[in-house]
């Protein structure tokens, strides 16, 4: 199943992706700042992700990709 991937250092934590997700499983994490000083977006439930890529389309910085998992 395809998964949402966030480029940690490119994301500026604007939150637009959180509003675009129809499953409401995209959130801004609050544990670690990236090198620009932003909290970044994360998928809170990879199994619930339907790979619609609305989060990626909404991202103004192209920091989100939706692709196949690494297990084949």
Taking only the tens place, the pLDDT of each residue in 9-35 is 999 999 999 999 999 999 999 999 999
Residue 23, number of CB atoms within 10 A of its CB? 14
Give the pLDDT of residue 72: 45
| Domains delineated in the chain | 3-67 (3.30.70.20)
Give the pLDDT of residue 1: 62
Which class for 10: exposed (0-12), middle (13-18), buried (19 or more C-beta within 10 A)? middle
Taking only the tens place, the pLDDT of each residue in 26-69 is 999 999 999 999 999 999 999 999 999 999 999 999 999 998 65
């Amino acid at each position: 199943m395809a998964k949402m991937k966030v480029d940690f250092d490119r994301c500026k934590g604007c939150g637009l992706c959180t509003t675009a997700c129809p499953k409401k499983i995209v959130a801004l994490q609050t544990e670690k700042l990236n090198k620009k000083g932003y909290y970044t977006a994360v998928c809170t439930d990879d199994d619930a992700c339907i790979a619609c890529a609305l989060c990626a389309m909404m991202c103004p910085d192209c920091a989100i990709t939706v692709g196949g998992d690494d297990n084949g």
